[in-house]
Chain A
């Protein structure tokens, strides 16, 4: 005869009365079709994948990955070394959140990155595995901000610190590979490089440290703080060489993102979401890189007086800016996700920016603004009113 269920609280009490220990949290690992569930490498890969696709807000799975790797690094396969290094690099993120007084020497941020590089070095060969190379790139790009830049101030001195940050960046760039079998990881490594450049570019700017500025506030603040300049770093600052070569670094980034897009387009296994995210990264970078042309146009347009030469310069600046913005728009359109209104808004914002550099009152400008408004309206409905304020501001202006 079947048992009678007790009820939720009574079942819970009964378990406690039986001194049943709460079972450890169970993790369900997904394997690809045909994979051998008994294979340690398959399990390792699945464990790493489970962490990588999770919210990454706990190091439990990372520790699980590291516990699986019981042989010395020199005896690991290239893939094992790569996963080990990646896991250590991610573990450093959690160590960074530990207060200094609680940090355990040998288990801190520095130790994680050092061990990651040692693991990769133990398998060093002339023809390094692409995944190992990509892992090295990730470690280096992650290390610079997490271990080094986080400790810097505007007064920091390279002579004393000897960080050679630009050399580390070059090391990461040299190691970077597009791994077709892992396009999301390849993209994430490039994104981390983008973030690193952004940190370097804005280092010391108090506005960059402010959280939660919405677009309206940013406009107000830029009006109020026109007089405030981003602090110029001294030539002895560890980030100075990086700042000096930002243009070169961004060129490299744009080229690698283009390589990634080519590889993704040619890969039957590439997920539509991955293709969109690559397009988005490219589009956002293109938008940022169009800013000098946009600013040049605005300066020309709103400058005092206008000679014939200045009018021609203004038109040229506008044409250049519009072309660059159009290129960015093409990428952002490709990045649109039919289920993500944020991606539609990104296109709308780029359209507005493009409209701003077109001839005032022209049909082309009107169309750009009209298309932007239509997208914002649609996004506002889909996002249950989240963009009502943005729409209202746009219409007022």
Chain B
């Protein structure tokens, strides 16, 4: 019933807020909140400090940047005003392009205001400064994992298969990565493990979705839950009695010689572990592959209109198999990256990242570049949720930890509106 034709026929014009208006209104609200909570919420005389020198990088620092001291209230009010201005500009001029860039700018200002407010002097905080470099490094780490998950989604869904099992592939990758790293102390083999197990789960999903045409969302959710229970089972049955199999360590950083010494950006972009660089390569590769090569054109054709694709001789089922397995590989490596960031496996290690990655995929509109922006937004909220406690903000830990999930809900509901996925996404294909 959800063929492309009926879709265009049903999409009758409705009087409702356009997506850009929603974004504009949201930004105005966010700006007002920033000004109220963080600007007026801090005493007039308090100050906040940004520092820039990295605390724990593997390379030595040839430069030394001074701290930047800002008056908290004025800065937060300014940030709020800028966000409001951005929102008003969207509502007023209704710009066609770069909406997300504007919203991203607003989000950055919002995060900065939170940090300024949390670290203000004469506040509850013992720590009276924010190390901006550490914040960026810390926010990129979860973002990398999310990028893998969303890229996996891009590969699968561009070919028309919904992959909800990303959470399961993450968990399996993290489990096997941890196991292999504990035994061999070699992240290359760990990554291979992630590749194999991710591909395996991808193959099972493809098998159920393509050969037996099960409902893809159901198969994905059930498969993910199955892998998660299996992880919990193996944790009790294998890892608890043999703790030597869960004795891995975080992946070491690979420092790129000269570039790593650039202030602020160096530690963030050029002093990361291998999974970061691999993610960058994958983003470029998939972006190029999908939109600039014959392979990509075929994949997109299969995802948009499989019958048409089949009529020009493309093997729809085979394309989908290949892409779902490739997607599984990417998500499996993402699971290893998750372990490489945390350094130890535990049953709840994924904590919904696979599902957040799906939201990032939708937010990023099924494009690798959009996915990166979404992952950074979510990564930063994960970092803030985990680290604002150091500043003893007057909010309970549990409430803070809700932050990334609530951001996700806001993003899928407010920012995206009705999405347009690849037209045949999630619909089983039957050969005639």
Q: Do A and B bind each other?
A: no
Q: Interface of A with B (CB < 8 Å)?
A: none
